[in-house]
Copies of this chain bind each other. A is one copy, B any other.
Amino acid sequence: MVLGVITVLSGGVGAARLLKALSDETDPSELTAVVNVGDDMVLHGLTICPDLDTIAYTLAGLNNDDLGWGLAGETWRVMDELDALGGEAWFRLGDRDLATHLYRSQRLSEGATKTQVTAELGRHLKLRVRLLPVTDDSIATVFDTEVGELSFQEYFVKHRHGVVARSVTVRGVEQSSPSPEVIDALERSERIVIAPSNPLISIDPILQVPGVRDIITRRRDDVVAVSPIINGVALKGPADRLLGELGYEASCVGVANFYDGLIGTLIIDEADARHAPSIEATGIRVIVTTTIMAERENARRLARAVLA
């Protein structure tokens, strides 16, 4: 299937799986992922970019399916020792994964941009899909929760998204700007896809980077989103609960409302077929298909729907 350039707004695991499926169905060199960096962090002096790395490792076929994150065949020498030292070991960094963060941190300290470092790491992994951090500026998604303010990874990993959130803020985003490569990809794409990532904490930080929302809004007829909520439940992570906590319906209807004005088409799961009429009544075209990508054939069917 040839559609020309496709850009995918991407969070972590859900986006990684969709990109993998898309690259099976179309020329991967025509695919660009614009990736959330709101959950990037500096820990132990290292700059860590979880979404970029999850996508890169998955596309390279190196992802750890047992864990659901990190690299296959990983070892934990450094982390075990850090734990013994009484260090901050709640965010598990495998030995092999650490090399990525050391490489990135050194290159950033030498003045390289995150965009450049991402390209270098992509070349090393022989990725054909192009990964672009949405911005080279530093932005940070923070959660105001019942236990106080938490960074993204504190909320997500340390507290296993088990606390109630009152609001989510992307710190520094007003002062950030999208990279020229991101603007160019969004302007020139035949189609813009919003991956089945968490709308509130993976996609929204991308949309908040000044200029991005305007382009998406202007191009809404070419924008296709995949709902990450199936029958009211997020396959992974707290998207369902967060939608509820932050005032949206925890369903594909809530996702449609969240993306109102930004998308021309929403892809929802067969289990949600009953919701199609009410979404279409808001002017959004609905495609009903399998959106669970665990099985390869289903993933390919979803990819074909996205590309159709």
Chain A positions within 8 Å of B, measured between CB atoms, are 42-47, 75, 77-79, 81-82, 84-88, 95-96, 98-103, 105-106, 108-109, 120-121, 124
Contacts and interface: CB of A to CB of B under 8 A. Distances in A.
Contact of A45 (B84, B85, B86, B105): B105
A77 B106 contact: no
A189 to B, nearest CB: 30
A85 B100 contact: yes
Contacts of A95: 77-78, 81, 95
Q: How many copies of this protein are present in the complex?
A: 2
Given A45-B46, A46-B44, A87 B99 contact: yes
Interface of chain A, main secondary structure? helix
Contact of A82 (B46, B47, B79, B103): B103
Contacts of A85: 99-100, 103, 121, 124
A110 to B, nearest CB: 9
A81 B105 contact: no
Given A78-B96, A78-B98, A95-B78, A86 B124 contact: yes
28 contacts: A42-B109, A43-B106, A44-B102, A44-B105, A45-B105, A45-B108, A46-B46, A75-B77, A77-B78, A78-B95, A78-B96, A78-B98, A81-B95, A81-B96, A81-B98, A81-B99, A82-B99, A82-B102, A84-B124, A85-B99, A85-B100, A85-B103, A85-B124, A86-B103, A86-B120, A87-B102, A87-B103, A88-B106
